[in-house]
Structure 1
Protein backbone atom coordinates (compact mmCIF):
# COMPACT_ATOMS: atom_id res chain seq x y z
CA UNK A 1 0.00 0.00 0.00
CA UNK A 2 1.32 3.46 -0.90
CA UNK A 3 1.98 6.19 1.69
CA UNK A 4 -1.00 8.11 0.34
CA UNK A 5 -3.37 5.13 0.55
CA UNK A 6 -2.23 4.33 4.08
CA UNK A 7 -2.61 7.94 5.25
CA UNK A 8 -6.06 8.22 3.65
CA UNK A 9 -7.23 4.95 5.22
CA UNK A 10 -6.11 6.03 8.68
CA UNK A 11 -7.78 9.44 8.28
CA UNK A 12 -11.06 7.92 7.12
CA UNK A 13 -11.13 5.45 9.99
CA UNK A 14 -10.30 8.19 12.50
CA UNK A 15 -13.08 10.42 11.16
CA UNK A 16 -15.80 7.80 11.59
CA UNK A 17 -17.29 8.86 8.25
CA UNK A 18 -18.42 6.39 5.61
CA UNK A 19 -17.15 6.77 2.06
CA UNK A 20 -20.68 7.77 1.01
CA UNK A 21 -20.70 10.58 3.58
CA UNK A 22 -17.27 11.69 2.40
CA UNK A 23 -18.42 11.61 -1.21
CA UNK A 24 -21.41 13.75 -0.25
CA UNK A 25 -19.17 16.30 1.52
CA UNK A 26 -17.05 16.57 -1.63
CA UNK A 27 -20.16 16.94 -3.78
CA UNK A 28 -21.33 19.85 -1.61
CA UNK A 29 -17.98 21.48 -2.40
CA UNK A 30 -18.61 21.08 -6.12
CA UNK A 31 -16.33 18.06 -6.53
CA UNK A 32 -17.62 14.89 -8.18
CA UNK A 33 -15.72 11.81 -6.94
CA UNK A 34 -17.31 8.37 -7.21
CA UNK A 35 -17.41 5.83 -4.39
CA UNK A 36 -15.31 3.43 -6.42
CA UNK A 37 -12.64 6.09 -6.94
CA UNK A 38 -12.46 6.83 -3.21
CA UNK A 39 -12.25 3.10 -2.53
CA UNK A 40 -9.45 2.66 -5.09
CA UNK A 41 -7.51 5.52 -3.52
CA UNK A 42 -7.84 3.93 -0.08
CA UNK A 43 -6.68 0.53 -1.28
CA UNK A 44 -3.87 1.87 -3.46
CA UNK A 45 -5.37 0.52 -6.67
CA UNK A 46 -5.19 3.98 -8.24
CA UNK A 47 -3.96 7.42 -7.24
CA UNK A 48 -5.24 10.95 -7.81
CA UNK A 49 -3.39 12.63 -10.68
CA UNK A 50 -5.83 14.73 -12.70
CA UNK A 51 -6.23 18.38 -11.64
CA UNK A 52 -9.82 17.68 -10.49
CA UNK A 53 -8.61 14.75 -8.40
CA UNK A 54 -5.90 16.85 -6.75
CA UNK A 55 -8.55 19.42 -5.86
CA UNK A 56 -10.52 16.61 -4.26
CA UNK A 57 -7.48 15.60 -2.18
CA UNK A 58 -7.20 19.15 -0.84
CA UNK A 59 -10.91 19.05 0.02
CA UNK A 60 -10.48 15.66 1.69
CA UNK A 61 -7.95 17.20 4.06
CA UNK A 62 -10.64 19.66 5.13
CA UNK A 63 -13.42 17.06 5.36
CA UNK A 64 -11.23 14.69 7.40
CA UNK A 65 -9.93 17.54 9.56
CA UNK A 66 -6.31 17.11 8.53
CA UNK A 67 -3.65 19.78 8.31
CA UNK A 68 -3.34 21.40 4.85
CA UNK A 69 -1.02 19.32 2.69
CA UNK A 70 -1.08 16.29 5.00
CA UNK A 71 -2.47 14.02 2.26
CA UNK A 72 -1.05 15.89 -0.72
CA UNK A 73 2.55 15.44 0.42
CA UNK A 74 2.01 11.66 0.61
CA UNK A 75 1.41 11.46 -3.14
CA UNK A 76 5.08 11.96 -3.96
CA UNK A 77 6.23 12.56 -7.52
CA UNK A 78 3.83 12.04 -10.38
CA UNK A 79 4.42 8.72 -12.08
CA UNK A 80 5.77 8.96 -15.64
CA UNK A 81 3.25 8.82 -18.45
CA UNK A 82 3.75 6.83 -21.62
CA UNK A 83 3.32 3.16 -21.00
CA UNK A 84 4.13 2.07 -24.54
CA UNK A 85 7.27 3.52 -26.09
CA UNK A 86 8.89 3.07 -29.49
CA UNK A 87 12.62 3.25 -29.94
CA UNK A 88 13.81 4.73 -33.20
CA UNK A 89 16.20 6.97 -31.29
CA UNK A 90 18.09 6.52 -28.03
CA UNK A 91 15.76 5.57 -25.18
CA UNK A 92 18.08 6.98 -22.53
CA UNK A 93 16.52 10.06 -20.97
CA UNK A 94 12.96 9.50 -22.24
CA UNK A 95 11.83 9.49 -18.60
CA UNK A 96 14.08 12.19 -17.26
CA UNK A 97 12.39 12.31 -13.86
CA UNK A 98 11.58 8.63 -13.48
CA UNK A 99 14.97 7.45 -12.21
CA UNK A 100 14.76 4.42 -14.48
CA UNK A 101 18.12 3.17 -15.73
CA UNK A 102 17.23 2.05 -19.25
CA UNK A 103 20.85 1.91 -20.29
CA UNK A 104 21.55 -1.13 -18.16
CA UNK A 105 18.78 -3.14 -19.79
CA UNK A 106 19.46 -1.89 -23.30
CA UNK A 107 23.13 -2.79 -22.96
CA UNK A 108 22.06 -6.41 -22.54
CA UNK A 109 20.55 -6.36 -26.04
CA UNK A 110 24.09 -6.70 -27.37
CA UNK A 111 25.09 -3.28 -28.61
CA UNK A 112 22.07 -2.39 -30.70
CA UNK A 113 22.51 1.13 -32.06
CA UNK A 114 19.76 3.74 -32.45
CA UNK A 115 17.70 2.83 -35.51
CA UNK A 116 17.86 5.27 -38.47
CA UNK A 117 14.11 5.07 -39.08
CA UNK A 118 10.85 6.69 -38.01
CA UNK A 119 7.17 5.89 -37.78
CA UNK A 120 4.90 7.55 -40.35
CA UNK A 121 1.59 6.35 -38.91
CA UNK A 122 0.62 4.29 -35.87
CA UNK A 123 -2.72 2.82 -34.85
CA UNK A 124 -3.07 1.32 -31.38
CA UNK A 125 -6.12 -0.66 -30.28
CA UNK A 126 -6.44 -1.31 -26.54
CA UNK A 127 -8.79 -4.17 -25.59
CA UNK A 128 -10.55 -4.07 -22.21
CA UNK A 129 -12.04 -7.31 -20.92
CA UNK A 130 -15.28 -7.97 -18.99
CA UNK A 131 -13.42 -7.56 -15.67
CA UNK A 132 -12.47 -3.97 -16.62
CA UNK A 133 -8.85 -4.97 -17.06
CA UNK A 134 -6.69 -4.43 -20.12
CA UNK A 135 -6.25 -7.61 -22.16
CA UNK A 136 -3.86 -6.44 -24.86
CA UNK A 137 -2.76 -3.58 -27.05
CA UNK A 138 -2.65 -4.30 -30.80
CA UNK A 139 -0.40 -1.94 -32.70
CA UNK A 140 -0.08 -1.45 -36.47
CA UNK A 141 2.55 0.93 -37.80
CA UNK A 142 4.26 2.08 -40.99
CA UNK A 143 8.00 2.53 -40.62
CA UNK A 144 10.28 4.51 -42.98
CA UNK A 145 14.06 4.10 -43.14
CA UNK A 146 16.42 7.10 -43.09
CA UNK A 147 19.38 5.06 -44.36
CA UNK A 148 20.14 1.82 -46.14
CA UNK A 149 20.34 -1.36 -44.10
CA UNK A 150 17.51 -0.99 -41.58
CA UNK A 151 16.24 -4.43 -40.64
CA UNK A 152 15.05 -4.04 -37.02
CA UNK A 153 13.76 -1.67 -34.35
CA UNK A 154 13.83 -1.75 -30.57
CA UNK A 155 10.70 -1.44 -28.41
CA UNK A 156 10.33 -0.85 -24.69
CA UNK A 157 7.28 -1.74 -22.59
CA UNK A 158 6.78 -0.76 -18.96
CA UNK A 159 4.34 -1.92 -16.32
CA UNK A 160 1.78 0.41 -14.73
CA UNK A 161 1.76 0.76 -10.95
CA UNK A 162 -0.90 -1.92 -10.55
CA UNK A 163 0.42 -4.36 -13.19
CA UNK A 164 1.94 -7.67 -12.13
CA UNK A 165 4.60 -7.41 -14.84
CA UNK A 166 5.28 -5.69 -18.19
CA UNK A 167 3.63 -8.66 -19.93
CA UNK A 168 5.01 -9.70 -23.31
CA UNK A 169 5.29 -8.67 -26.95
CA UNK A 170 4.05 -10.91 -29.79
CA UNK A 171 4.70 -10.31 -33.50
CA UNK A 172 1.49 -10.66 -35.52
CA UNK A 173 2.77 -10.32 -39.10
CA UNK A 174 5.38 -8.58 -41.27
CA UNK A 175 7.97 -8.94 -38.49
CA UNK A 176 9.19 -11.23 -35.72
CA UNK A 177 10.42 -10.84 -32.17
CA UNK A 178 14.17 -11.24 -31.73
CA UNK A 179 16.06 -10.84 -28.48
CA UNK A 180 14.09 -9.87 -25.39
CA UNK A 181 15.49 -8.55 -22.13
CA UNK A 182 13.65 -7.70 -18.91
CA UNK A 183 14.51 -5.58 -15.91
CA UNK A 184 12.43 -6.86 -12.99
CA UNK A 185 13.53 -4.06 -10.66
CA UNK A 186 12.20 -1.36 -12.99
CA UNK A 187 9.39 -3.54 -14.43
CA UNK A 188 10.70 -2.95 -17.92
CA UNK A 189 10.80 -5.13 -21.04
CA UNK A 190 12.95 -4.35 -24.09
CA UNK A 191 12.43 -6.33 -27.30
CA UNK A 192 14.14 -6.43 -30.67
CA UNK A 193 11.63 -6.45 -33.54
CA UNK A 194 13.09 -7.84 -36.77
CA UNK A 195 11.51 -6.70 -40.04
CA UNK A 196 10.66 -9.08 -42.86
CA UNK A 197 13.24 -7.47 -45.16
CA UNK A 198 16.19 -5.11 -45.14
CA UNK A 199 15.13 -1.55 -45.98
CA UNK A 200 16.93 0.97 -48.14
CA UNK A 201 16.64 4.71 -47.45
CA UNK A 202 13.08 5.89 -48.13
CA UNK A 203 11.58 2.41 -48.13
CA UNK A 204 8.78 1.48 -45.73
CA UNK A 205 7.78 -1.57 -43.73
CA UNK A 206 4.68 -2.67 -41.83
CA UNK A 207 4.95 -3.65 -38.18
CA UNK A 208 2.03 -5.44 -36.50
CA UNK A 209 2.42 -6.34 -32.84
CA UNK A 210 0.40 -7.42 -29.84
CA UNK A 211 1.39 -6.23 -26.37
CA UNK A 212 -0.12 -8.74 -23.95
CA UNK A 213 -1.07 -7.16 -20.62
CA UNK A 214 -0.68 -8.49 -17.08
CA UNK A 215 -2.94 -6.16 -15.04
CA UNK A 216 -3.51 -6.42 -11.32
CA UNK A 217 -6.42 -3.96 -11.11
CA UNK A 218 -9.03 -2.18 -13.21
CA UNK A 219 -7.63 -0.20 -16.13
CA UNK A 220 -8.38 3.51 -16.31
CA UNK A 221 -6.32 4.87 -19.19
CA UNK A 222 -4.33 4.14 -22.32
CA UNK A 223 -1.59 6.35 -23.68
CA UNK A 224 1.55 6.50 -25.77
CA UNK A 225 4.56 8.77 -26.05
CA UNK A 226 6.87 8.99 -29.06
CA UNK A 227 10.50 10.06 -29.32
CA UNK A 228 10.19 11.41 -32.88
CA UNK A 229 7.46 13.38 -34.69
CA UNK A 230 4.62 11.30 -36.13
CA UNK A 231 2.28 12.27 -38.97
CA UNK A 232 -0.79 10.40 -37.76
CA UNK A 233 -1.58 8.57 -34.55
CA UNK A 234 -4.86 6.80 -33.80
CA UNK A 235 -5.61 5.39 -30.36
CA UNK A 236 -8.73 3.24 -30.03
CA UNK A 237 -10.10 1.57 -26.92
CA UNK A 238 -12.44 -1.40 -27.30
CA UNK A 239 -14.52 -2.13 -24.20
CA UNK A 240 -16.27 -5.41 -23.50
CA UNK A 241 -20.08 -5.01 -23.63
CA UNK A 242 -20.20 -5.91 -19.92
CA UNK A 243 -17.61 -3.27 -19.02
CA UNK A 244 -18.48 0.08 -20.61
CA UNK A 245 -17.34 3.23 -18.76
CA UNK A 246 -19.62 6.15 -17.96
CA UNK A 247 -17.21 8.74 -19.37
CA UNK A 248 -14.16 8.90 -21.63
CA UNK A 249 -11.97 11.86 -22.43
CA UNK A 250 -8.74 12.54 -24.24
CA UNK A 251 -5.67 14.07 -22.64
CA UNK A 252 -2.13 15.17 -23.32
CA UNK A 253 0.83 15.56 -21.00
CA UNK A 254 4.06 17.35 -21.91
CA UNK A 255 5.97 16.67 -18.70
CA UNK A 256 6.12 13.33 -16.83
CA UNK A 257 5.94 15.28 -13.58
CA UNK A 258 3.35 17.79 -14.79
CA UNK A 259 -0.44 17.85 -15.02
CA UNK A 260 -2.54 16.32 -17.76
CA UNK A 261 -4.47 18.59 -20.11
CA UNK A 262 -8.03 17.41 -20.78
CA UNK A 263 -8.69 17.63 -24.53
CA UNK A 264 -12.43 16.91 -24.32
CA UNK A 265 -14.98 14.14 -23.93
CA UNK A 266 -14.92 11.19 -26.31
CA UNK A 267 -18.05 9.39 -27.46
CA UNK A 268 -18.43 5.67 -26.76
CA UNK A 269 -20.33 4.31 -29.75
CA UNK A 270 -22.76 1.43 -30.12
CA UNK A 271 -19.81 -0.93 -30.62
CA UNK A 272 -18.56 -0.02 -27.11
CA UNK A 273 -15.43 1.65 -28.42
CA UNK A 274 -13.92 5.12 -28.54
CA UNK A 275 -10.94 6.64 -30.30
CA UNK A 276 -8.57 9.58 -30.46
CA UNK A 277 -6.90 10.94 -33.63
CA UNK A 278 -3.71 13.00 -33.44
CA UNK A 279 -2.22 14.76 -36.46
CA UNK A 280 1.45 15.70 -36.27
CA UNK A 281 2.14 14.09 -32.91
CA UNK A 282 5.11 15.74 -31.25
CA UNK A 283 8.03 13.99 -29.53
CA UNK A 284 7.97 13.90 -25.76
CA UNK A 285 4.20 14.47 -25.57
CA UNK A 286 1.96 11.80 -24.09
CA UNK A 287 -1.34 11.33 -25.94
CA UNK A 288 -4.00 9.24 -24.25
CA UNK A 289 -7.55 8.34 -23.32
CA UNK A 290 -8.78 8.14 -19.75
CA UNK A 291 -12.12 6.74 -18.60
CA UNK A 292 -14.28 6.48 -15.48
CA UNK A 293 -16.17 3.35 -14.54
CA UNK A 294 -18.68 4.98 -12.17
Structure 2
Protein backbone atom coordinates (compact mmCIF):
# COMPACT_ATOMS: atom_id res chain seq x y z
CA UNK A 1 0.00 0.00 0.00
CA UNK A 2 2.92 2.38 0.66
CA UNK A 3 3.98 2.05 -2.99
CA UNK A 4 0.58 3.22 -4.21
CA UNK A 5 0.44 6.09 -1.70
CA UNK A 6 3.94 7.26 -2.62
CA UNK A 7 3.24 7.02 -6.35
CA UNK A 8 -0.01 8.95 -5.97
CA UNK A 9 1.65 11.64 -3.86
CA UNK A 10 4.44 12.13 -6.40
CA UNK A 11 1.96 12.27 -9.28
CA UNK A 12 -0.27 14.85 -7.56
CA UNK A 13 2.71 17.02 -6.65
CA UNK A 14 4.10 16.79 -10.20
CA UNK A 15 0.74 17.80 -11.65
CA UNK A 16 0.59 20.98 -9.60
CA UNK A 17 -3.06 20.28 -8.81
CA UNK A 18 -4.63 20.50 -5.39
CA UNK A 19 -6.78 17.61 -4.19
CA UNK A 20 -9.81 19.83 -4.71
CA UNK A 21 -8.86 20.30 -8.39
CA UNK A 22 -8.17 16.59 -8.77
CA UNK A 23 -11.63 15.87 -7.36
CA UNK A 24 -13.15 18.42 -9.77
CA UNK A 25 -11.49 16.75 -12.79
CA UNK A 26 -12.72 13.35 -11.65
CA UNK A 27 -16.28 14.68 -11.30
CA UNK A 28 -16.07 16.16 -14.79
CA UNK A 29 -15.39 12.61 -16.01
CA UNK A 30 -18.34 11.19 -14.07
CA UNK A 31 -16.33 9.78 -11.16
CA UNK A 32 -17.32 10.65 -7.60
CA UNK A 33 -14.52 10.43 -4.99
CA UNK A 34 -14.60 12.41 -1.74
CA UNK A 35 -11.72 14.63 -0.67
CA UNK A 36 -11.29 12.57 2.48
CA UNK A 37 -10.93 9.40 0.39
CA UNK A 38 -8.30 11.01 -1.82
CA UNK A 39 -6.49 12.15 1.32
CA UNK A 40 -6.72 8.62 2.74
CA UNK A 41 -5.16 7.21 -0.42
CA UNK A 42 -2.33 9.72 -0.37
CA UNK A 43 -1.56 9.08 3.31
CA UNK A 44 -1.62 5.33 2.92
CA UNK A 45 -4.49 5.18 5.44
CA UNK A 46 -6.61 3.17 3.00
CA UNK A 47 -6.43 2.02 -0.60
CA UNK A 48 -8.88 1.47 -3.46
CA UNK A 49 -10.14 -2.12 -3.69
CA UNK A 50 -13.79 -2.06 -4.75
CA UNK A 51 -14.51 -2.12 -8.52
CA UNK A 52 -15.75 1.48 -8.54
CA UNK A 53 -12.63 2.60 -6.66
CA UNK A 54 -10.33 0.79 -9.09
CA UNK A 55 -12.16 2.49 -11.95
CA UNK A 56 -11.61 5.82 -10.20
CA UNK A 57 -7.87 5.13 -10.04
CA UNK A 58 -7.79 4.39 -13.77
CA UNK A 59 -9.48 7.74 -14.42
CA UNK A 60 -7.10 9.35 -11.91
CA UNK A 61 -4.18 8.20 -14.08
CA UNK A 62 -5.77 10.07 -16.97
CA UNK A 63 -6.31 13.22 -14.88
CA UNK A 64 -2.69 13.17 -13.68
CA UNK A 65 -1.42 12.37 -17.19
CA UNK A 66 0.11 9.06 -16.19
CA UNK A 67 0.58 5.98 -18.31
CA UNK A 68 -2.14 3.35 -17.77
CA UNK A 69 -1.15 1.06 -14.91
CA UNK A 70 1.17 3.57 -13.21
CA UNK A 71 -1.04 3.68 -10.12
CA UNK A 72 -3.11 0.52 -10.42
CA UNK A 73 0.08 -1.51 -10.80
CA UNK A 74 1.16 -0.36 -7.32
CA UNK A 75 -1.86 -1.77 -5.51
CA UNK A 76 -0.73 -5.39 -5.20
CA UNK A 77 -2.85 -8.00 -3.43
CA UNK A 78 -5.86 -7.12 -1.35
CA UNK A 79 -5.23 -6.52 2.33
CA UNK A 80 -6.87 -8.70 5.01
CA UNK A 81 -10.44 -7.62 5.59
CA UNK A 82 -12.74 -7.60 8.57
CA UNK A 83 -13.63 -5.47 11.56
CA UNK A 84 -11.59 -7.66 13.90
CA UNK A 85 -8.42 -7.03 11.87
CA UNK A 86 -9.01 -3.29 12.12
CA UNK A 87 -9.62 -3.42 15.87
CA UNK A 88 -6.49 -5.44 16.65
CA UNK A 89 -4.36 -3.06 14.59
CA UNK A 90 -5.75 -0.14 16.57
CA UNK A 91 -4.77 -1.29 20.06
CA UNK A 92 -1.95 0.88 21.32
CA UNK A 93 0.71 -0.70 23.49
CA UNK A 94 -0.67 -4.26 23.50
CA UNK A 95 1.37 -7.39 22.86
CA UNK A 96 0.13 -8.86 19.61
CA UNK A 97 -0.50 -12.37 20.92
CA UNK A 98 -2.29 -11.01 23.99
CA UNK A 99 -4.43 -8.67 21.91
CA UNK A 100 -5.97 -11.53 19.98
CA UNK A 101 -8.89 -12.51 22.20
CA UNK A 102 -9.51 -8.96 23.31
CA UNK A 103 -9.60 -7.87 19.69
CA UNK A 104 -12.29 -10.44 18.95
CA UNK A 105 -14.34 -9.17 21.87
CA UNK A 106 -14.07 -5.56 20.76
CA UNK A 107 -15.03 -6.51 17.22
CA UNK A 108 -18.47 -7.48 18.55
CA UNK A 109 -19.13 -3.95 19.77
CA UNK A 110 -21.19 -2.16 17.14
CA UNK A 111 -19.79 1.02 15.62
CA UNK A 112 -16.63 1.06 17.72
CA UNK A 113 -14.19 3.13 15.66
CA UNK A 114 -10.94 1.24 15.16
CA UNK A 115 -8.10 3.59 14.22
CA UNK A 116 -9.49 6.92 13.04
CA UNK A 117 -6.54 9.05 14.15
CA UNK A 118 -2.81 8.98 14.73
CA UNK A 119 -0.67 10.31 17.56
CA UNK A 120 1.57 13.27 16.71
CA UNK A 121 3.15 13.69 20.15
CA UNK A 122 2.72 12.03 23.54
CA UNK A 123 3.95 13.06 26.97
CA UNK A 124 3.71 10.49 29.76
CA UNK A 125 4.41 11.06 33.45
CA UNK A 126 4.71 8.00 35.70
CA UNK A 127 4.18 8.72 39.41
CA UNK A 128 5.96 6.45 41.92
CA UNK A 129 4.65 6.55 45.51
CA UNK A 130 6.46 6.37 48.85
CA UNK A 131 6.01 2.57 48.91
CA UNK A 132 8.04 2.27 45.65
CA UNK A 133 4.94 1.30 43.71
CA UNK A 134 3.53 3.07 40.67
CA UNK A 135 0.49 5.17 41.47
CA UNK A 136 -0.50 6.22 37.97
CA UNK A 137 0.72 7.40 34.59
CA UNK A 138 -0.61 10.73 33.35
CA UNK A 139 -0.69 10.91 29.58
CA UNK A 140 -1.21 13.97 27.40
CA UNK A 141 -1.39 13.37 23.65
CA UNK A 142 -1.94 15.33 20.46
CA UNK A 143 -3.88 13.34 17.88
CA UNK A 144 -4.71 14.06 14.23
CA UNK A 145 -7.84 12.76 12.52
CA UNK A 146 -7.49 10.66 9.37
CA UNK A 147 -10.99 11.42 8.15
CA UNK A 148 -14.09 13.52 8.76
CA UNK A 149 -16.40 12.63 11.63
CA UNK A 150 -13.86 11.37 14.17
CA UNK A 151 -15.29 11.66 17.67
CA UNK A 152 -13.51 8.85 19.58
CA UNK A 153 -10.37 6.73 19.74
CA UNK A 154 -9.28 3.54 21.49
CA UNK A 155 -6.70 3.57 24.28
CA UNK A 156 -5.29 0.46 25.94
CA UNK A 157 -3.30 -0.35 29.06
CA UNK A 158 -1.47 -3.53 30.00
CA UNK A 159 -0.15 -4.55 33.41
CA UNK A 160 3.30 -5.62 34.55
CA UNK A 161 3.81 -9.24 35.59
CA UNK A 162 3.59 -8.36 39.29
CA UNK A 163 0.51 -6.14 38.95
CA UNK A 164 -2.77 -7.45 40.33
CA UNK A 165 -4.73 -6.14 37.34
CA UNK A 166 -4.51 -3.73 34.43
CA UNK A 167 -5.91 -0.98 36.65
CA UNK A 168 -8.12 1.77 35.28
CA UNK A 169 -8.17 4.39 32.52
CA UNK A 170 -9.64 7.73 33.61
CA UNK A 171 -10.29 10.81 31.48
CA UNK A 172 -8.64 13.93 32.86
CA UNK A 173 -9.97 16.67 30.58
CA UNK A 174 -10.94 17.40 26.97
CA UNK A 175 -12.48 13.92 26.68
CA UNK A 176 -14.48 11.28 28.55
CA UNK A 177 -14.44 7.50 28.83
CA UNK A 178 -17.10 5.54 26.99
CA UNK A 179 -17.24 1.76 26.76
CA UNK A 180 -14.54 -0.33 28.45
CA UNK A 181 -13.45 -3.88 27.70
CA UNK A 182 -11.18 -6.04 29.91
CA UNK A 183 -9.13 -9.19 29.49
CA UNK A 184 -8.51 -10.32 33.06
CA UNK A 185 -6.34 -13.28 32.03
CA UNK A 186 -3.86 -11.15 30.11
CA UNK A 187 -4.37 -8.11 32.37
CA UNK A 188 -5.42 -5.84 29.53
CA UNK A 189 -7.92 -3.01 29.42
CA UNK A 190 -9.17 -1.05 26.40
CA UNK A 191 -11.26 2.09 26.74
CA UNK A 192 -13.24 4.06 24.21
CA UNK A 193 -12.17 7.70 24.64
CA UNK A 194 -14.82 10.14 23.43
CA UNK A 195 -13.51 13.54 22.31
CA UNK A 196 -15.11 16.84 23.23
CA UNK A 197 -15.81 17.67 19.58
CA UNK A 198 -16.14 15.99 16.20
CA UNK A 199 -12.98 16.25 14.11
CA UNK A 200 -12.60 16.64 10.37
CA UNK A 201 -9.70 15.14 8.42
CA UNK A 202 -6.49 16.89 9.49
CA UNK A 203 -7.99 18.37 12.67
CA UNK A 204 -6.04 17.89 15.88
CA UNK A 205 -7.21 17.34 19.45
CA UNK A 206 -5.71 16.99 22.91
CA UNK A 207 -6.35 13.83 24.90
CA UNK A 208 -5.50 13.85 28.62
CA UNK A 209 -5.78 10.59 30.53
CA UNK A 210 -4.75 8.98 33.79
CA UNK A 211 -3.69 5.33 33.76
CA UNK A 212 -4.31 4.15 37.32
CA UNK A 213 -1.96 1.35 38.42
CA UNK A 214 -2.72 -1.70 40.56
CA UNK A 215 0.76 -2.89 41.60
CA UNK A 216 1.39 -6.01 43.63
CA UNK A 217 5.09 -5.35 44.21
CA UNK A 218 7.75 -2.64 43.89
CA UNK A 219 7.75 -0.99 40.47
CA UNK A 220 10.98 -1.15 38.50
CA UNK A 221 10.19 0.32 35.07
CA UNK A 222 7.83 2.43 32.99
CA UNK A 223 7.52 2.13 29.22
CA UNK A 224 5.28 2.67 26.21
CA UNK A 225 4.73 0.90 22.89
CA UNK A 226 3.07 2.45 19.83
CA UNK A 227 1.53 0.57 16.92
CA UNK A 228 2.33 3.45 14.56
CA UNK A 229 5.41 5.64 14.30
CA UNK A 230 5.30 8.71 16.51
CA UNK A 231 6.90 12.10 15.95
CA UNK A 232 7.84 12.72 19.58
CA UNK A 233 7.44 10.85 22.85
CA UNK A 234 8.44 12.22 26.24
CA UNK A 235 8.46 9.83 29.19
CA UNK A 236 9.11 11.16 32.69
CA UNK A 237 9.20 9.22 35.96
CA UNK A 238 8.59 11.19 39.16
CA UNK A 239 9.70 9.46 42.37
CA UNK A 240 8.43 10.25 45.85
CA UNK A 241 11.13 11.96 47.97
CA UNK A 242 11.02 8.96 50.32
CA UNK A 243 11.50 6.47 47.48
CA UNK A 244 14.35 7.53 45.19
CA UNK A 245 16.21 4.72 43.35
CA UNK A 246 20.00 4.39 43.40
CA UNK A 247 20.25 4.40 39.61
CA UNK A 248 18.09 4.89 36.56
CA UNK A 249 18.58 3.86 32.91
CA UNK A 250 16.80 4.34 29.62
CA UNK A 251 16.16 1.36 27.34
CA UNK A 252 14.33 0.18 24.27
CA UNK A 253 13.18 -3.08 22.72
CA UNK A 254 12.62 -3.70 19.01
CA UNK A 255 9.52 -5.70 20.01
CA UNK A 256 7.64 -6.23 23.29
CA UNK A 257 9.17 -9.70 23.74
CA UNK A 258 12.68 -8.76 22.55
CA UNK A 259 15.68 -8.27 24.89
CA UNK A 260 16.04 -4.80 26.40
CA UNK A 261 18.91 -2.64 25.13
CA UNK A 262 20.25 -0.07 27.60
CA UNK A 263 20.74 3.37 26.06
CA UNK A 264 22.42 5.13 28.95
CA UNK A 265 22.17 6.13 32.58
CA UNK A 266 19.74 8.91 33.45
CA UNK A 267 20.35 11.70 35.93
CA UNK A 268 17.83 11.88 38.77
CA UNK A 269 17.51 15.58 39.46
CA UNK A 270 16.73 17.50 42.63
CA UNK A 271 13.03 17.05 41.85
CA UNK A 272 13.54 13.26 42.12
CA UNK A 273 12.62 12.70 38.50
CA UNK A 274 14.18 11.41 35.28
CA UNK A 275 13.02 11.57 31.68
CA UNK A 276 13.70 10.55 28.08
CA UNK A 277 12.77 12.22 24.81
CA UNK A 278 12.30 9.96 21.79
CA UNK A 279 12.21 11.63 18.39
CA UNK A 280 10.57 9.60 15.61
CA UNK A 281 9.61 6.64 17.80
CA UNK A 282 9.35 3.55 15.62
CA UNK A 283 6.21 1.45 15.33
CA UNK A 284 6.27 -1.64 17.51
CA UNK A 285 9.32 -0.56 19.51
CA UNK A 286 9.22 -0.25 23.29
CA UNK A 287 10.77 2.84 24.89
CA UNK A 288 11.17 3.11 28.61
CA UNK A 289 12.95 3.88 31.85
CA UNK A 290 13.96 1.33 34.46
CA UNK A 291 15.56 1.71 37.85
CA UNK A 292 17.15 -0.12 40.77
CA UNK A 293 16.21 0.39 44.38
CA UNK A 294 19.28 -1.16 45.98
Which TM-score tier does this pair reach, normalised by the shorter chain? 0.5 to 0.7
Aligned Cα RMSD in Å?
Answer: 2.0
CA distance in 1, matches of 2:270, 2:239: 11
CA distance in 2, matches of 1:283, 1:271: 32
The Cα of 1:247 is off from its aligned counterpart by: 0.5
Decide whether the 8 Å contact of 1:105 with 1:183 is kept in 2: no
Point out the more displaced range, 255-264 or 283-292. 255-264
CA deviation digits over 1:29-59, x for unaligned, max 9? xxxxxxxxxxxxxxxxxxxxxxxxxxxxxxx
Counterpart for residue 149 of structure 2: 149
Decide whether the 8 Å contact of 1:120 with 1:144 is kept in 2: yes
Decide whether the 8 Å contact of 1:88 with 1:228 is kept in 2: no
Counterpart for residue 228 of structure 1: 228
Decide whether the 8 Å contact of 1:229 with 1:280 is kept in 2: yes
Decide whether the 8 Å contact of 2:94 with 2:158 is kept in 1: no
Counterpart for residue 177 of structure 1: 177
CA distance in 1, matches of 2:231, 2:256: 22
CA distance in 2, matches of 1:171, 1:189: 14
Decide whether the 8 Å contact of 2:256 with 2:284 is kept in 1: no
CA distance in 1, matches of 2:245, 2:97: 31
Task: Identify unmatched segments of 5+ residues in structure 1.
Answer: 1-86
Larger Rg: 2
Q: What does 1:226-265 correspond to in 2, within 5 Å?
A: 226-265=226-265
Match status 1:188 vs 2:188? yes
The Cα of 1:139 is off from its aligned counterpart by: 0.3
Q: Aligned in 2, Cα 1:226/1:99: closer, same or farther, shift over 3 Å?
A: closer
Task: Identify unmatched segments of 5+ residues in structure 2.
Answer: 1-86
Count of residue pairs the alignment pairs up: 208
Q: Aligned in 2, Cα 1:121/1:268: closer, same or farther, shift over 3 Å?
A: same
Q: Calculate the TM-score normalised by the size of structure 2.
A: 0.67
Q: Calculate the TM-score normalised by the size of structure 1.
A: 0.67
